[in-house]
C-alpha cells in the first residue's frame, strides 16, 4: 500500500520516471526532517540525486508538492482509521485496539519518518492546505476516541497517548536504546493513557 503509484501517467510503469520521483521523495523527506524544510534547498536535493534543480520541477510542481506527496498518503490511512472508529463505541477496549491498529499503520507504511517530519516542521506544514487537513483529522481522531463532552483531562490523556507513539524518539535520547525498545515503551505508555476511564474531578 505504501509504494503505490498515485497518478499513473501513461508509460510510467517502465520505471525511469517513477524511480526518479520516488528517489526525490526519499531524499527530500530525509533532508527535510534532519535540517528542516526551509533550510533544505532544492539545489541540495538535486545535487544529491545528480540532476539539476529544474529537473525536480518536472516531477513536482513546487517544493511544497513534494511534502504533499508523502503527507497525503498518511492522510488516507488516518481517514480509514477514523472510519473504523466511528463504527465502534468509545470504550477503553476500543481505544486499546485502536492504538494497536495505529502503530501497525505506522510501521507497515513506513510512516514513522513521515510523522517525524510532521513534528519537526509543524509550523511549515500548518501553512499548507494538506497541513490543515491533517490537523482536522487528528482532531476528528481524538473526537472519535473520546467524547468531546468528557472532562478535558480524559481528552488530553488520550491525545497524549497518541502523541507518545510519535515522539518517543524525541524524548528518549539515550544512544544505547534501540528503536524497537523505544517503540515498545511508547506502545505501553500509550495503552496506559487510553485505558484510563473517565473519572470526574
Chain contacts with DNA (rule: CB under 7 A): 9-12, 16-17, 20, 38, 40-44, 46, 51-55, 57-59, 61-64
Residue closer to a second copy (CB basis): 50 or 127? 127
Q: Exposed, middle or buried: residue 92 (CB in 10 Å: 0-12, 13-18, 19+)?
A: middle
Which range in 44-52, 56-64, 107-115, 176-184 contacts a second copy by CB under 8 A? 176-184
Q: Which of 2, 41, 52, 188 binds a second copy (CB under 8 A)?
A: 188
- DSSP conformation letters of 85-153: HTTS---HHHHHHHHHHHHHHHHHTT-HHHHHHHHHTHHHHHTSHHHHHHHHHHHHHHHHHS-TTS-HH
Comparison of 36 and 151: residue with beta carbon closer to DNA: 36
d(CA 136, CA 146): 15
Binding region for a second copy (CB under 8 A): 32-33, 35-39, 119-124, 126-127, 135, 139, 142, 148, 151-153, 155-157, 159-160, 163-164, 167-168, 171-174, 177, 181-182, 184-186, 188-189, 192
Amino acid at each position: 500500500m505504501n509504494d503505490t503509484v498515485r497518478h499513473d501517467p501513461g508509460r510510467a510503469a517502465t520505471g525511469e520516471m517513477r524511480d526518479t520521483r520516488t528517489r526525490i521523495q526519499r531524499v527530500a523527506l530525509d533532508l527535510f526532517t534532519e535540517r528542516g524544510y526551509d533550510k533544505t534547498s532544492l539545489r541540495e536535493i538535486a545535487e544529491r540525486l545528480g540532476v539539476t534543480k529544474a529537473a525536480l520541477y518536472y516531477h513536482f510542481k513546487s517544493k511544497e508538492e513534494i511534502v504533499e506527496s508523502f503527507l497525503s498518503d498518511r492522510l488516507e490511512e488516518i481517514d480509514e482509521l477514523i472510519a473504523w472508529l466511528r463504527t465502534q463505541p468509545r470504550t477503553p477496549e476500543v481505544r486499546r485496539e485502536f492504538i494497536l491498529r495505529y502503530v501497525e499503520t505506522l510501521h507497515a507504511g513506513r510512516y514513522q519518518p513521515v510523522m517525524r517530519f510532521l513534528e519537526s516542521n509543524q509550523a511549515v506544514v500548518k501553512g499548507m492546505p494538506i497541513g490543515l487537513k491533517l490537523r482536522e483529522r487528528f482532531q476528528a481522531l481524538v473526537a472519535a476516541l473520546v467524547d468531546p463532552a468528557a472532562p478535558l483531562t480524559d481528552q488530553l490523556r488520550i491525545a497524549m497517548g497518541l502523541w507518545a507513539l510519535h515522539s518517543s524518539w524525541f524524548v528518549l535520547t539515550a544512544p544505547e536504546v534501540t528503536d524497537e525498545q523505544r517503540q515498545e515503551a511508547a506502545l505501553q505508555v500509550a495503552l496506559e493513557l487510553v485505558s484510563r476511564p473517565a473519572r470526574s474531578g
